[in-house]
Amino acid sequence: MAEETKELQMEQAKKQELLEGDAERTRSRLVFVPRVDIYEGNDAIVVLADMPGVAPEAVDITLESNVLNINGYVTPQYPEGYSLAWAEYRIGDYQRSFTLSEEIDQERIEATVKDGVLRLVLPKATPATRKIAIKGA
């Protein structure tokens, strides 16, 4: 139980660090670190990130200096004609970054969003094989 509490405290500290990071945000909203599952196969690495409430057109993925940045922006939707009486679900944006190795073919990365789950396919680069001709003396 103490170990679970420590893990929760570490996770909260990471989230707070993200909220209070060095960069200024232009939106005064909460920022969540999406939970991810990462699978590795022979040809690719697949990243699944939970980002509920994020539409495909509201996802921004950039790759700069081997750092893959994922940003998802949520537009709150409220039923028309109703006012909020109680809320347990907190609305905010999503932000996560990963450093990629040289093993990834950065030109062939694919991303899709379906039902609040971002799926990134990071193809592994095929090692360059080159035949070297031998010259006679």
For residue 54, the tally of other CB atoms under 10 A from its CB is 22
Question: What are the sequence ranges of the domains in the chain?
Answer: 26-78+87-123
Residues in the chain with pLDDT < 50? 17, 19-22
pLDDT, one tens digit per residue, over 82-110 is: 988 888 888 899 999 999 888 899 999 99
Residue 15 CA to residue 26 CA, distance in Å, equals 18
Question: In sequence order, which residues have a C-beta less than 8 Å from that of residue 30 and are 6 or more positions away?
Answer: 19, 90, 91, 92, 93
Residue 96 CA to residue 21 CA, distance in Å, equals 13
**Dihedral sign (CA 39, 45, 51, 52):** negative
Q: Does domain 26-78+87-123 have CATH number 1.10.287.70?
A: no
**pLDDT value of position 95:** 95
**pLDDT value of position 20:** 43
Q: Residue 7: in which H helix or E strand, if any? A: helix 2-19
- Give the residue among 90, 96, 88, 84 at the shortest CA–CA distance from 30: 90
